[in-house]
Structure 1
Amino acid sequence: MDRKESRGRPARAAANWAGRLTAALRGQKAAYAGDSGHAPERYVAAMLGYGAYVAALAGAGRLTGRRLPSRVDPWDLALCGVATFRLSRLLTKSTVASPLRVPFTVARGGAGAAELSEEARGEGGRRAVGELITCPFCTDMWVATTVTAGLVLCPRATRLATAALTAVAGADALQFAYAAMVERERGGAD
């Protein structure tokens, strides 16, 4: 085999793989045809982006010589869980963060205390980003990955940030409890 032929082999393999992926996505699109516009090919870039993000975080860990912990402390897990919930809601639903979502979403009105109901706008990748940043469940994975990487790369700062977000989540719960108590009190006074 000559040098030119050996260089062409990876390109042919990549093209073959891309062709099979495209065919599989078309098959999935047909399977979801009745599902109000679900287009799985829209999410390929998001999955590749997430994979690249994880690889970059792993590379940062390797470059800095950080080692993965042998276990996760239950307290860290609790803080990270609550912080992930709070930050995901903040990024995907809050009125305060809505300017970050505007290029990818259309507001549909209020959706509760200091939250908006929004829909993704546009087509293709723009729509996929809009769907990602309006879905707290979808954003959870990115936030949890960031927080987890933070525990490895800069644990003290991450613990401080997760403690603050956990405090905000607790304060939110108390605000809702207080509002319910006031409402109950008003209802009983009539």
Structure 2
Amino acid sequence: MDGYITKSIIGFIVILIIGYGMIKGGKVYEWFIEGAKDGLKVCLNIFPYLLAMIVAVEIFKQATLLDILNNFIAPIAGLIGLPKEIIPLILIKPLSGSGAVGIFTNIVQAYGPDSAIGLIASVIMGTTETIFYTVTVYFGAVKVKKVRHTVWAAIMADLVAIITAVTVVRLFLLS
């Protein structure tokens, strides 16, 4: 019974919206068509930005820049107690959510979900953002070109989330 309700809820919401629009005397079908047209325009507007982001992520992964950055950042990460194994997750997460999920899955499989590395990686996955993807999509959709302050604020928020993740896991979950 639970699965049926969960699977049917979207249909119920659609019927509720259509019914409400019809009761209010609105032109539901015409509104739907206009919304679909606007949605396609947004897709066309953000496509170049998304394509550029996808190409950049692939170049980053294929050129083994991840390994080079990992070795460079490891001593700095050690200062806050961040395990070297989590650095690839931190480097990919701002660029690609699906890439981060792949790296996270590898971390959990290799070290276990209850290990310090697994717990820190889990908290980081839940508290950080795909900064460049999000900025690309949302700012590209509204054609904002000057994103400098937004990107720096988002990077600082991610750094705070990473430091907090390491601290919280070490203080509360590993004691």
Instruction: Calculate the TM-score normalised by the size of structure 1.
Output: 0.28
Higher strand share: 1
Largest Rg, 1 or 2: 1
Higher helix share: 2
Instruction: Calculate the TM-score normalised by the size of structure 2.
Output: 0.30
